[in-house]
Amino acid sequence: MTQAVLSRREFFRLTAAGFLGFFGVWAVLAASGLVQTLFLPSPLEVAGKFFELTQKPFVGYTLQQHLLSSFGRFAMGFGLAVVIGIPLGLLMGWFRWLDRIVTPLFDALRFVAPIAWVPFAALWFGTGIGGPVLIIFSGAFPPCVINAYRGARYVEVRYIEAAQTLGAGHWRIITEVLLPGSIPSIVAGLRVSAGLGWQSLIGAELIVASSGIGYLMVKGQSNLSTSTVMSGMIAIGIVGFAIDLLLRALEARIERRGG
């Protein structure tokens, strides 16, 4: 069964219709009185609070500063996951003995939810930057390893055999054959990794942080300010969407080159 390809104009129309429907239902529900305004402010009220948070500091910082703090933690945890996870996945895909050593421990740890690391991170790092970075790393690391490993395992054998025939050693095969051949799989994994890392960050900041968008939401809840909490949620969604959009563009560019 073939699927119709939407034009860009149709895509934007449907997207706009989805947003209008969502905000319409929200506005009607907020105006109906079925839910107290304290718990469900109107879209306009949330928009006003969002703008206010960009102008006036809340718990010490503006919304942009909280986001910058969050993104700094995310960049550190995600970057660490990429730097360690991708090489490890490639090495596991090439060296069978390393695969057998690492896989049992890796499979055990990757099923531990990132939020489960929060008590451990709090004990070790308190509200310092180390705790959130550890939690982000725990969420972002597995997809990096898994996709690099799968990419390395599915590189065509004839390329590897050709490199070996020309006398290439392990290092050259990994860097010049496995890595280029695994790029599409690695980039696809980065999208998953970034999404999990960003979600893990917010969970971490709800508990072990003294700044950041998660911390802003916690303080908003303490002040019974639902509009502040919802503003934080909107900011999280916007940044997360932007990160995914950049990685999708990178993935599409690599696919075009590969095609």
Instruction: Please state the domain extents for the chain.
Output: 42-258
Confidence of residue 30 (pLDDT cuts 50, 70, 90): confident
Cβ-contact 228, 53 below 8 angstroms: yes
Q: For residues 235 and 79, what is the distance between their CA atoms, to the nearest angstrom?
A: 22
CA 91 to chain centroid, in Å, comes to 24
Mean pLDDT score of the chain: 85
The angle subtended at Cα 133 by Cα 82 and Cα 83, nearest 5°, is 15
Residues 6+ apart with CB under 8 A from 193: 78, 81, 82, 85, 139, 140, 141, 142, 143, 144
Of the candidate CATH numbers 3.40.50.2000, 1.10.3720.10, 1.20.1730.10, 1.10.10.10, the domain formed by 42-258 belongs to 1.10.3720.10
Cβ-contact 131, 125 below 8 angstroms: yes
Confidence of residue 140 (pLDDT cuts 50, 70, 90): very high
Q: What is the pLDDT of residues 193-227, one digit of tens each?
A: 999 999 888 777 877 677 888 889 988 988 888 99
Distances (CA, A) of 137 to 157, 216, 217: 32, 22, 22
